[in-house]
Structures are given as structure tokens and as C-alpha cells.
Amino acid sequence: MNWPAYVAMDAVPSGSSVLLYGAGGRGGRALELLKALNPGVTVLGFVDSFKRGRWQGLPVHAPEDILTGALGADFVIVTTFDFIPVLTRLDHALGEKLLVGDIPMPERKHAIISHGLKAIYLVMPKVASTTLEVALAAASPTPIEVIQEADLSACPRDYFSFTFVRNPYDRMVSIFRHEANNFNRNVYRPAMEWLGRDPADFANFVEFVHRLPDGIADIHVRSQHRLLEGVEETVGLDFAGHLESLNEDFARVAERLEIPSDLGHITKSKRGHYRDYCTPKLLALIGERYRRDFELFGYELEA
């Protein structure tokens, strides 16, 4: 199989007609972006494996209608997150007319709030989140609460907000090891196998993620700065610590919140240094994929 072509909604050729595969939230978001950014594109309707009727005022067709050529669109843009089964069915029939939409969605942020400490911890996946949550829970005079993005705007702006980030090279190795140890639920295993790539090979994993836009990426491989977008408009971000200096940086948080700084025993990874996994080529691919994270969070790019 060939690698699918990704397309941002403002890059769809003006004057063309399209069908959006997926009559749901991501399909609706694609329609919204096309109307706002690319009004020269005509959206003929949606295609969905299960739904029929109308969605967002447009007809919803069956996949079989695409295969027979009855709908006459210039392009079919797949909007569903789990796009591999769709591509498997349609790739040979549509060829270059089949695209995968790079569709930025509102980030579903996960945060921990302690009203007793007047603190908000913006959780970053795979960055000591359990350790930090336990420390906050132990120190908070009131029960901590889990909140989602929609609730951030209701939080007091005077609460101290913080997060912790991780070196993108090390983060990539950690994600790979996590996915390798949870093979049956590895979200990218079907995609990589469809492309003829061994998902248990680190180089294949890096090359796959390198070509995966944030707009359709799982939260674990999405750029860290993307997971913080919009925070300044809600609760702000007062401090960003680094996993590599976890104890020292959490001590600064603890001093600000007037709580104990001891994080207890932190289990050290036995997987070795990221340089044990990364060739110069892989370092370059990771650096290119997460360049903005390196720049914003003060990490050094390696050749």
C-alpha cells in the first residue's frame, strides 16, 4: 500500500468538489474549515459506513456509492480518526482522488484542580503525570478534581497553573516502548501493518509518526505545545517544568503552593538512553516532527 496523502482544508484545490467521509464531529469540523478557509470548494455531501439521511444540511451516502462512481466528486476526504479501514476499502478504487484530512480539532485537555491549593495541573501524557497527581492529592486540603477542556474557562484565573514537558527524543522512545508493551491496543498497529511496516521496529514507528500530522495524531504522539494551545485564553500557564529536572522543578511548584516537595521514590526506566535507539537519521526525523516543542521548551536539537 502507498502512504496516504494528507491535506489541510485550506490546501484543497479551489474549484474542486469533495465528499467528506465521516458524518460526525470531525466531518463537521472539516466542513466548517472548508467554508471558512476555502469557500471555492464545493462540498457535495458526506459518506458514512453507518449513517444515512442528512448531516449538517447535506446528504449522507453509502460507501458503495463512491465505488460505483455515482457521486462524481473530484476528491473524497477521509475525516475519521480510524481511517485505515476506510482506506483499505477505497484505496484501489479511488487512487489519488482519496485524501486524508489534516483537521485540527479543539484539544481535549485533561487537568487536575485543587481548590484548596488554588492550583491547576495541566496533564501532559507520558510525563510523570501519575507521580504529580499523587503528590497533589496528598498535599491538597480538599479533594482534587479532574476537569476537561470545556471546564477550564470556568476556573479562577488567579489559580497557579503548571505543567511538565519532556525531551521529544526521550518522549518518542517512551511512547514506542509503551505501545510495544500494549501491542493489542496499539492504535497505530493496524495503520503500520496496512502500510507493510513492522510496528515492533522503532525506526518504522518514528518514520510513521514523522509523517502523521497533529490534526489526526493520537494524543500520545501529538506535539506537546499543541496540547497547551488555548490555555492562555482560559487559565494561563504560570510554569512549565521539565521531566529531566523533575525534583528540582517540582520543588519550585511546591514552594509556590507551600506544600511538601518530596515526590517519593520515582522508578527509573531500565530501557536506557534515547541515543541507544536513535540513529542520526531518526534524530533528524524526530527533530523535524517536533521542532516547535524543542524551540518552545528549551530542548537542544541533535544531529
Domain extents in the chain: 5-102, 107-296
Q: Do 122 and 228 contact (CB within 8 A), yes or no?
A: yes
User: What pTM does this model have?
Assistant: 0.74
pLDDT at residue 157, rounded to an integer: 86
CA distance 237 to 260: 22
Among 23, 19, 64, CA closest to 42: 19
**The domain 5-102 is classified under which CATH number: 1.20.120.1810, 3.30.1330.200, 3.30.70.890, 3.40.50.720?**
3.40.50.720
Residue with cell 495524531: 217
pLDDT at residue 215, rounded to an integer: 73
What residue type is assigned to position 205 of the chain?
F
Cα three-residue angle 244-172-241, rounded to 5 degrees: 30
Helix ranges (H only) for 122-167 are 129-139, 149-152
Q: Do 19 and 31 contact (CB within 8 A), yes or no?
A: no
Cα three-residue angle 177-180-185, rounded to 5 degrees: 125
Burial of residue 273, with CB atoms counted within 10 A of its CB: 0-12 exposed, 13-18 middle, 19 or more buried: exposed
Instruction: Identify the H or E element spanning 111.
Output: strand 110-114
pLDDT at residue 183, rounded to an integer: 45
Taking only the tens of pLDDT, the chain with its 303 residues reads 566 678 889 999 999 999 999 898 889 989 999 999 999 999 999 998 888 999 999 999 988 887 776 678 999 998 876 666 666 677 777 778 888 888 876 655 688 999 999 999 999 988 998 899 999 999 999 999 988 765 777 888 899 999 999 999 999 999 888 766 554 445 566 666 656 677 678 998 898 888 887 877 777 888 999 888 878 777 788 999 999 999 999 999 999 999 999 887 666 666 779 999 999 999 999 999 999 999 999 999 986
CA distance 297 to 107: 19
Count of residues in the chain? 303
Among 295, 280, 269, 101, CA closest to 206: 280
pLDDT at residue 191, rounded to an integer: 64
Q: Is 84 helix (H, G, I), strand (E, B) or coil?
A: helix
Q: Do 171 and 286 contact (CB within 8 A), yes or no?
A: no
| Long-range Cβ pairs for the range 235-238 (8 Å, 24+) | 235/111, 235/120, 235/122, 235/152, 235/155, 235/157, 235/159, 235/161, 236/157, 236/161, 237/122, 237/161, 237/162, 237/163, 238/160, 238/161, 238/162
CA distance 193 to 179: 14
Q: Do 295 and 288 contact (CB within 8 A), yes or no?
A: no
